[in-house]
Amino acid sequence: MYRSTDFAIADTCFLIDWVRFRRRDLIFKLFKTVFIPESVLREIKSESTVMWVALNLASGNLALYTEVFDEVEEARKITELSRRLPGAISVDLPEALCMAVGRRRGYVVLTENRGAIMFADLVSDYNDVIVWRSLEVLLALHMRRLIDADCNNLSMLFREYEEDTKHIFPERDLSNGVEVLRRELCSKN
Question: Where do contacts with other proteins occur on this chain (CB under 8 A)?
Answer: 12-13, 16-17, 43-46, 49, 74, 77, 81, 85-90, 92, 112-114, 117-118, 121-125, 133-135, 165-170
Rounded distance, CA 143 to CA 172, Å? Answer: 19
Closer to other proteins at the Cβ: 7 or 161?
Answer: 161
**Smallest distance, other proteins to C-beta of residue 82, A:** 10
Question: Rounded CA gap, 106 and 183, in Å?
Answer: 29
Nearest-angstrom CA–CA distance, 63 and 71: 17
Min dist CB 11 to other proteins, Å, is 10
Q: Is 127 exposed, middle or buried (0-12, 13-18, 19+ CB in 10 A)?
A: exposed
Closest distance between other proteins and the C-beta of residue 139, in Å?
14
Nearer to other proteins by Cβ, of 32 and 77: the residue is 77
**Separation of first and last alpha carbons in the chain:** 34
DSSP SS3 for 113: coil
Task: Write the DSSP symbol of residue 25.
Answer: G
Judged by CB, which is closer to other proteins: 33, or 96? 96
Query: In this complex, which beta carbon is closest to other proteins, that of residue 163 or of residue 179?
Result: 163
Shortest distance, position 134 Cβ to other proteins, whole Å: 8
